[in-house]
Amino acid sequence: MKTDERSILIVDDDADIREALIDILTDHGYHALAVANGQEALAHLRGGARPRLILLDAMMPVMDGPSFRREQLLDPELSRLPVLMISAGILGDLDTGELGLVGVLGKPIGLDRLLEVVSLHYL
């Protein structure tokens, strides 16, 4: 599943949220695709995909958002890809600065805020 560099990669275990985000972003002129967890996202990136932005759910089975981001940061080529974390819960002790995130959005995601943040980082 290789994509061009104009895409947004959505990483979320909830199929309904993945589909809704793809529809919203596509309706606003973005190319978006999705995977179900951090492990699938890493495989996708290691396969050569270089999205302009990653929308990353914090809590997922198999590999959660923070674990994905820590692994991503270990790869010099992948570490520069911007990540916007999305969370339905309180991130608690998570050091979002340590993860080098471009931001954190709460669920439910406000459409205007999502599009604002995406436009800022979809350079």
Query: Which pLDDT score, from 0 to 100, does residue 123 have?
Result: 63
Q: What is the 8-class DSSP label of residue 19?
A: H
CATH node for 7-121: 3.40.50.2300
Q: Please state, rounded to an integer, the average pLDDT across all residues of the chain.
A: 87
pLDDT tens digits for 22-39? 999 999 999 999 999 999
Residue 52 and residue 7 in contact, taking contact as beta carbons nearer than 8 Å:
yes
pLDDT band at 107 (very low <50, low <70, confident <90, very high): confident
Q: What is the pTM of this model?
A: 0.89
Question: What share of the chain in percent tops pLDDT 90?
Answer: 67
Residue 82 and residue 53 in contact, taking contact as beta carbons nearer than 8 Å:
yes
* Helical packing angle, 111-121 and 15-27, nearest 10°: 70
Query: Which pLDDT score, from 0 to 100, does residue 109 have?
Result: 82
CA distance 52 to 103: 15
CA distance 101 to 95: 10
CA distance 69 to 86: 13
Whether residue 87 has pLDDT greater than 90: no
List 68's β-bridge partners, or say none: none
